[in-house]
Amino acid sequence: MAIDALEPFDRWALADLERFSSEVRAAYEAYEFHTAYQLLVNYCAVQLSGVYLDGLKVRLYIQPAKSAERRSAQTVLHAVLDALVRLMAPILAFTADEVWREQSVRPAEESVHLVEFAPAKPERRDAALETEWDVLMAARTAVMRELEGLRSRKEIGSSQDAALEISAVDSEHQAILERHQPELEEVFIVSSAEVRAEGDAWVGAADEVEEGFRVAVRVADGDKCPRCWRYRTTAGTDSEQPALCAECVSIIS
């Protein structure tokens, strides 16, 4: 898929991949192998596992195989795999080669050690997009801190058991939240995410402002859909698929 056709979360992940790749290539060129190693570990553990892959699971699992939303995610995952396996090859020689040989899209070269690092693709970077997602990642940090409070009180297990409301003190940050409200469930990994404006009534009890955001978290309303694992008030309303939420019913119908 073309970059401008990707979902916003995927465009951010692709831009972040390009940032990370350029930093690793620079470390190798400077013979700073310890820096390359640290960048690889942090990217896999934090950006991929902790943010992108965790938020992406619902979309990958529930959307139809040929849907634009799922294809958007797969486009970026393919780019991530291709770049990552090349960048790790000098450090994890055997593992990288095994991954290379097992890719679903078979490369022409038999070994990863016969190819170069993925070339720089500056068209993947978007300064305005990345600035907006820096704000969303800061909001995510504030949200995760509040969700951990619910989890420690054993009111929820998974973050998908929760619903949240959020607002930003800064007006520009508030506008960013409002523009990206459709992606917030995926980014925060919750069943419901509502952006509240000044003067709006809050369903939950908003906590003190933290990191520039006011967040209220609570146990989500409705029943848990066994297909997407999100709590929905529409779950159980379809006579033919009584356990599923309306979105999942529409997908499988």
Specify whether the CB–CB gap between 134 and 47 falls below 8 A: no
Compute how many other C-beta atoms are within 10 angstroms of the C-beta atom of residue 101: 12
- pLDDT, position 126: 93
The predicted model gives 160-179 an average pLDDT of 95
pTM greater than 0.85: yes
- pLDDT, position 9: 96
- The residues near 134 (Cβ < 8 Å, ≥ 6 apart) are none
The predicted model gives 40-57 an average pLDDT of 93
The DSSP result for 234-248, as a single string, is TTT--SSSTTS-HHH
Report the distance separating Cα 121 and Cα 116, nearest Å.
Answer: 14
Classify strands 162-168 and 213-219 as parallel, antiparallel or unpaired: antiparallel
The DSSP result for 112-152, as a single string, is GGGSPPPPP-GGG--HHHHHHHHHHHHHHHHHHHHHHHHHH
The confidence band for 61, taking pLDDT boundaries of 50, 70 and 90, is very high
Report the distance separating Cα 143 and Cα 148, nearest Å.
Answer: 9
- pLDDT, position 206: 75
The confidence band for 173, taking pLDDT boundaries of 50, 70 and 90, is very high
Tokens 């192998």 — which residue?
33
Point out which residues pair with 194 in neighbouring strands. 165
CATH 3.30.2320.20 range(s) for the chain read 127-221
Which CATH architecture fits 3-124?
A: Orthogonal Bundle (1.10)
Q: End-to-end alpha-carbon separation of the chain, Å?
A: 26
pLDDT tens for residues 70-121?
999 999 999 999 999 999 999 999 999 999 998 877 678 899 999 999 889 9
CATH 1.10.730.20 range(s) for the chain read 3-124
CATH of 127-221, one of 3.30.2320.20, 3.40.50.740, 1.10.10.10, 3.20.20.10: 3.30.2320.20
User: In this predicted model, which residue has the larger pLDDT, 16 or 65?
Assistant: 16
- pLDDT, position 103: 84
pLDDT tens for residues 197-207?
877 878 877 76
Mean per-residue pLDDT of the chain: 92
Specify whether the CB–CB gap between 156 and 150 falls below 8 A: yes
Report the distance separating Cα 222 and Cα 15, nearest Å.
Answer: 36
Specify whether the CB–CB gap between 50 and 159 falls below 8 A: no
Point out which residues pair with 193 in neighbouring strands. 164
pLDDT tens for residues 186-227?
999 999 999 998 778 788 777 678 778 999 999 999 999 999
User: In this predicted model, which residue has the larger pLDDT, 106 or 40?
Assistant: 40
The predicted model gives 139-149 an average pLDDT of 93
Structure tokens at 74: 């797969």
Give the long-range contacts of residues 157-160, CB within 8 A, separation 24 or more. Answer: 158/229, 159/188, 159/189, 159/190, 160/58, 160/189, 160/190, 160/191, 160/220, 160/229, 160/230, 160/231
- pLDDT, position 107: 75
What stretches of the chain show up as alpha helix (H) in DSSP? 8-29, 33-42, 53-62, 68-88, 93-102, 127-152, 171-179, 181-188, 246-252
Report the distance separating Cα 126 and Cα 184, nearest Å.
Answer: 20
